[in-house]
Amino acid sequence: MPNITVLDQNTINKIAAGEVIERPASVVKELLENAIDAKATAVTVEIKEGGTSFIRVTDNGCGIPKEEVPLAFLRHSTSKIKSVEDLFTVSSLGFRGEALASIASVSQVELITKTSIGLTGTRYQIDGGEEKTLEEIGAPEGTTFIARNLFFNTPARKKFLKTPMTEGAHVAELVEKLALSHPEVSIRFIQNNQNKLHTSGNHNLKDIVYTVFGREIASNLLEVSVKKPDISVEGYIGKPVIARGNRNYENYFINGRYIKSTVICRAIEEAYKPFMMQHKYPFTMLHFTIDPETLDVNVHPTKMELRFRDGEMVYHMVYQAVASALAHKELIPEVELVKRTEDSRLSMSGKKHEPAPEPFEKNRLMAMQQQSAAKEYTTPPTITEGFQKRLIPSPSQFSQNIQPEIVREPDELSANWLKPQASTNKANSLEALPEALPETLPEPPIQPEEKPKQMDLFDGKLLEPKARSMHKLIGQLFDTYWLVEFNEQLYIIDQHAAHEKVLYEKTMATLKTREYTSQLINPPIILTLNRNEEVLLNQHLKYFTEMGFEIEPFGGREYAVRGVPANLFSIAKKELLIEMIDGLSEDTAVSNPDVIYEKIASMSCKGAVKGNNRLSFAEANELIDQLLGLENPYACPHGRPTIISMSKYELEKKFKRIV
């Protein structure tokens, strides 16, 4: 049997470093968090070769006194806590006292620091955990931490690092998250001598969202702001139109710390379910302020996880905050026939140019230019010539070609020219009328180009009860879609998605009001369940009963379904009931059963009118009335849109009425 021995300190440090320092991003995380804890208002992070060869973090924080510098690199030395009781009230980002010791044990470290009261700074070097130099040096206030040759003394671990590009991407992602978690700190990120990120530190979270994620995300945000005695949340959530296929855009911070929480994640996604397709995830940027005494942050070495004293309270608070921000918004997506960016796309020379006109339009423009090129007429213009002069722009207008013009209809102009005159005086006769007109008419006022936008809550809502009488039902397209004209918008309604939404809302309403009715089945549906399914069914039996199901034991592991909800009578089959039970999970929240929500959506889909089914105008009107009467009619239970819109601008642009 091997003898038991005590490991030497160098080995202990390297083992500890393995728990904290996984890659260059881990080093940057610890150093950047230390800078923020030091009350820095500006921090610069610089890396080379993905951080494997060079990492430098410079801040303007409080600095470290000279006599405390060597202590900072000892394990379990920290200025954040003093006793075990402080673990339950800690508000700093770091507190374990392992970061600097772990970094120094696997890299070559140089530290330059100066406090506000110190006359000089301090330079300290430590390689692989061994102290090299400690000396005075001239330095600005703050701290500069340099780590070179990461894992130089543990080559086996270095082999597991990815390419410099991949490691650099991890560092960039980390810096972005810390910048988003602290908008009051100006953070600059430099990679291989190139500036990749620079935030202003002006406390404006939306500015940082724009800098990190771009214009599309920043222009589709909804503000969230809820304050309660022990917990508050502020920030932004994204409209469903910017949903993604993974959870990478779900960001939330607690007391300035970026964390992952199944409670918060589940609450956010539950609130988004009525608005989003399955397997799509929202964009969130939420800052939580929670009483530290209600948190346990000492859960994981990387401090990415924590525990709540009252997780259910946090769940409901987050759910209500997100759901309230999404409610009362008309989230009807607007489609475009032509990308508007094409109107101002850049040529290879960098200059803007207009889209090429159609062939028939080229001929028309050429003819108009030739006619308008004549400087004067040798004979008085006829009525027709005068009419043409009213239509044809001057050559200068063609040469400038700056603003798009709306082509005027000839019928309106003809009516003005050919209107009978009240007087028979020769001066007012038709022959003299063209001569009385100026040779060149003033240019019509430039019409500002309409800027299409998603319809706003207060901008003539489609879903207002008073607007229903102004809807113009045009007809059915492809036996699936209904076209409605309203407020210079064309709305397209998917009859299947609309009907399944109506069915779903009706079923949910019966659950809330307990006004459900059951339809008896004879003979009953017999279900044979395995042990796990039987446990789950009994655990959630009351929810089935509330929906209108009547289920009772039938001997052994068989159960008899003798009644089903009346409005689901035609689709309640054995296979569907088994599918509902299979979807149950033991961790389903008692107060918010996920599976009931999802399976009702599935049942509604099966009972809804399908596409390629012709409806009468009366049936379509009734369906639209029921849809518009819902609290959230914008998406079906699976998250697909029920309504999309197309602006008059888009149609006129496609038909070249706006050029």
pLDDT for res 201 = 92
Q: Residue 619's pLDDT band (boundaries 50, 70, 90)? A: confident
What is residue 596's predicted lDDT score, i.e. its pLDDT?
A: 61
Number of other CB atoms surrounding residue 342 within 10 Å: 9
Q: Domain locations in the chain?
A: 9-198, 205-326, 365-436, 454-659
What are the start-end ranges of the H helices in 182-259? 205-213, 215-218
Is 454-659 in CATH node 3.30.1540.20?
Answer: yes
Evaluate if residue 27 carries a pLDDT over 80: yes
SS3 269: helix
Burial of 214 (0-12, 13-18, 19+ CB in 10 A): exposed
The answer to whether residue 444 scores a pLDDT higher than 80 is: no
Question: Of 100-104, 107-111, 337-341, which one has max mean pLDDT?
Answer: 107-111
Per-residue pLDDT reduced to its tens digit, 173-206: 899 999 999 999 999 999 999 999 999 999 999 9
Rounded to whole angstroms, the Cα distance separating 124 from 145 reads 10
Whether residue 141 is predicted with pLDDT greater than 80 in this model: the reply is yes
Q: Band the pLDDT of 530: cuts 50, 70, 90.
A: low
C-alpha distance from residue 584 to each of 88, 115, 569 (Å):
36, 59, 22
What digits encode the pLDDT tens for the residues 316-345? 999 999 998 988 666 666 666 655 444 444
Query: Does the structure show a pLDDT above 70 at 368?
Result: no
Which of the four pLDDT bands, split at 50, 70 and 90, describes residue 415? very low
What pLDDT, on a 0 to 100 scale, did the predictor assign at position 241?
84
Per-residue pLDDT band for 394 (boundaries 50, 70, 90) equals: very low
Tokens of 198: 């620079």
Distance CA 20, CA 17 (A): 5
- Is residue 302 scored above 80 in pLDDT? no
Strands 550-553 and 518-528: unpaired
Bond before 2 cis per omega within 30 degrees? no
Kindly indicate the confidence band of residue 126, based on its pLDDT and cuts at 50, 70 and 90. Answer: very high
| 635 vs 351, higher pLDDT | 635
Say which residue, 374 or 151, is predicted with more confidence. Answer: 151
Partnered with residue 561 across adjacent β-strands are 525, 551
Q: Tell me the pLDDT tens digit for each residue of 577-592.
A: 776 776 665 444 444 5
The Cβ of residue 527 has, within 10 Å, a number of other Cβ atoms equal to 19
Yes or no: say if 496 and 483 are a contact pair by the CB < 8 Å rule: no
- What's the pLDDT at 303? 54
Find the mean pLDDT for residues 27-44: 93
Q: Closest by alpha carbon to 648, among 635, 657, 640, 639?
A: 657
Q: With contact defined as beta carbons under 8 Å apart, do 98 and 74 qualify?
A: no
Residue 180: predicted pLDDT = 94
pTM score, two decimals? 0.56
The answer on pLDDT for 545 being more than 80 is yes
- Return the pLDDT at 630: 83
Residue 142 in 3-state DSSP?
strand
**Does residue 441 have a pLDDT over 80?**
no
Judged against a pLDDT cut of 70, whether residue 594 lies above it is answered with no
Question: How far is CA 430 from its chain centroid?
Answer: 65
Tens-digit pLDDT profile for residues 465-487:
777 778 888 888 888 898 999 88
Max mean pLDDT range (2-6, 344-348, 377-381): 2-6
According to the per-residue pLDDT averaged within each range, which of 1-10, 137-146, 549-558 is highest? Answer: 137-146
Dihedral of the alpha carbons of 498, 500, 505, 508, in degrees to the nearest 10: -170
The pLDDT, as a whole number, for residue 460 is 53
pLDDT top residue among 321 and 423: 321
Q: How far apart are CA 487 and CA 463, in angstroms?
A: 12
| Range from 176-190, 439-453, 582-596, 630-644 carrying the lowest mean pLDDT | 439-453
Topology of domain 9-198 in CATH is Heat Shock Protein 90 (3.30.565)
Share of the chain above pLDDT 70, in %: 64
**Residue 408, pLDDT above cutoff 50:** no
Find which of 299-313, 372-386, 439-453 is predicted with most confidence, using mean pLDDT. 299-313
Can you give the length of the chain in residues? 659
- Taking 50 as the threshold, does the pLDDT of residue 419 lie above it? no
pLDDT at 102 over 70: yes
* Third-level CATH fold of 205-326: Ribosomal Protein S5; domain 2 (3.30.230)
pLDDT in tens, 546-578: 777 899 999 877 899 999 877 666 666 777 777
For 221-236, write each residue's pLDDT tens digit: 999 999 988 889 999 9
